[in-house]
Amino acid sequence: MLAQVTLSIKQIHELLLNVATVRPVFIWGPPGVGKSSLVEQFAASLGLECVALLGSQLAPEDLIGIPKIEGAVSRFYPPSMIVREREFVLFIDELNIASLEIQKAFYSLILDKRIGEYRLPAGSIIIGAGNRAHDAALAKQMPSALVNRMVHVHLKASHREWLDWAQAQGVHAWVVDYIRSRPSQLSAEVPPAKEEPFSTPRSWHAVSDALHAFGDDIAPDHLDALLFGCLTRDHAVGFKAFLKQIRNQFSVHRILKGEESWPSAAEDRDLTYFLTQSLRDMLVKELPERENQLGRDSRELAQSAKAALKSLARIDGELAQLVLTENDAGDRVPDWFVLEIAKELPRLLQQKARDEPK
């Protein structure tokens, strides 16, 4: 299902409070974005038990139950996993992966809160969730009658909400600091190639757990295996450079102040690349859209950035030009800054080419 509107976890929580209590809701989102934990937190906020079923692992009898003869008739007895004496939240995860027979069995449950002769206690809430078809997650197209029985919302990852949660949950400081500096890397689109790791809030949490277990002196080989086994490749490379920056105490702020130079060794190019990206993100965030809006601080930042880019161009012209391109979120530095620095970079690159040994 295509997303017309996407909402953050907090926004969907508020929507559930007002909608899920009167109509079944289906939450769409990519793997690892936090659908399951969202429903569990919602149930806890209401003081209700959350009973989770995994649609992909259910058989029809798991819902309908099995028949038992009582005199001249038979009655279906529902399984104990969904029978409760008081209201609860029934969470049906991966509903759109379930077999067609299972999806049909959900019709009366979702519409009438009933399975056979068993009715859910009054006040019970039904919430479904699943991945989107283009997430390469084996999702199937749900019957239109089932789609029409639910309110559909689409969950997006919010780095601000995740950072608040991560700090409260004790997520490793390296991970928190990295996502704070590169928020667009909290999640990535599911890669078209199968069996390829990609970044999600869940995978960053896995990195954090492993870093806590290994300790800050994690061996390089183990670090590589962890990062490239959990994250999108570019994000893994960026995080490695971030750690090198921490361990070698490099800082964009000190480079801008002229207190240290750009790393120039060939083996430090990944670090220089990360510092360049950090400078770009800083300029995108701090510089105004129009030059006539410059204040004292932003004017000083622009001047320092120009000087830093000139010195970077003498080391690596390709990285210097990277600052003028779009970042991961599709944003770029203001046009007036691009025009000013673009006037000088070609000359610096030509000079660098002349100075290089033949």
pLDDT one-digit tens code per residue, 35-52:
999 999 999 999 999 999
> 156, 180, 198: which is the final residue of a domain?
156
Sequence-ordered list of residues with C-beta below 8 angstroms from that of 150, at least 6 positions apart, any chain: 23, 24, 25, 26, 110, 128
Angle at 183 between CA 180 and CA 187, to 5 degrees: 130
Q: How far apart are CA 105 and CA 115, in angstroms?
A: 8
Query: Has residue 1 been placed in a domain?
Result: no
Question: How many independent structural domains does the chain possess?
Answer: 2
Query: Has residue 141 been placed in a domain?
Result: yes
Task: Please tell me whether residues 72 and 211 are part of one structural domain.
Answer: no
Q: How far apart are CA 134 and CA 1, in angstroms?
A: 9
- The number of helix segments (H) and strand segments (E) in the chain equals 15, 10
Q: How far apart are CA 300 and CA 54, in angstroms?
A: 56
Instruction: Return the pLDDT at 117.
Output: 74
For residues 68, 71, 72, 76, the Cα torsion angle rounded to the nearest 10 degrees is -20
Query: Has residue 187 been placed in a domain?
Result: yes
Residue 276's CB is within 10 A of a number of other CB atoms, namely 22
Task: Please tell me whether residues 84 and 187 are part of one structural domain.
Answer: no
Query: Has residue 237 been placed in a domain?
Result: yes
Query: Has residue 222 been placed in a domain?
Result: yes
Instruction: Return the pLDDT at 347.
Output: 65
One-letter amino acid at 331 equals: D
- Rg from Cα positions in the chain: 27
Give me the residues paired with residue 154 across strands: 6, 28
Task: Please tell me whether residues 190 and 332 are part of one structural domain.
Answer: yes
Task: Please tell me whether residues 338 and 191 are part of one structural domain.
Answer: yes
Evaluate if residue 190 carries a pLDDT over 70: yes
CATH code of residue 87: 3.40.50.300
Give me the residues paired with residue 50 across strands: 89
Task: Please tell me whether residues 21 and 69 are part of one structural domain.
Answer: yes
Please state, for a pLDDT cut of 70, what percent of the chain lies above it.
91
Task: Please tell me whether residues 50 and 117 are part of one structural domain.
Answer: yes
Place of tokens 């926004």: 11
Task: Please tell me whether residues 176 and 291 are part of one structural domain.
Answer: yes
Instruction: Return the pLDDT at 346.
Output: 66
Q: Where are the beta strands (DSSP E) in the chain?
A: 6-7, 25-28, 50-54, 66-70, 73-77, 89-93, 114-115, 118-119, 125-130, 151-155
Angle at 137 between CA 134 and CA 142, to 5 degrees: 75
Range of the domain at 60: 6-156
Task: Please tell me whether residues 88 and 75 are part of one structural domain.
Answer: yes
Q: Which of 139, 132, 137, 134 is nearest to 153 (CA)?
A: 132
Task: Please tell me whether residues 51 and 174 are part of one structural domain.
Answer: no
Task: Please tell me whether residues 306 and 272 are part of one structural domain.
Answer: yes
Instruction: Return the pLDDT at 181.
Output: 84
Query: Has residue 93 been placed in a domain?
Result: yes
pLDDT tens per residue across span 133-179: 666 556 667 778 888 889 999 999 899 999 999 999 999 999 999 99
Question: Residue 350 — pLDDT band, cuts 50, 70, 90?
Answer: low
> 115, 136, 156: which is the final residue of a domain?
156
Would you say how long the chain is, in residues? 358
Q: How far apart are CA 235 and CA 196, in angstroms?
A: 13
Q: How far apart are CA 150 and CA 104, in angstroms?
A: 14
> 156, 177, 212: which is the final residue of a domain?
156
Q: Measured on CA atoms in the order 21, 22, 24, 29, is the torsion positive or negative?
A: negative
Place of tokens 């006037």: 343
Query: Has residue 48 been placed in a domain?
Result: yes
Question: Residue 228 — pLDDT band, cuts 50, 70, 90?
Answer: very high
Task: Please tell me whether residues 67 and 97 are part of one structural domain.
Answer: yes
**pTM metric for this prediction:** 0.74
Task: Please tell me whether residues 130 and 179 are part of one structural domain.
Answer: no
Q: How far apart are CA 199 and CA 190, in angstroms?
A: 9
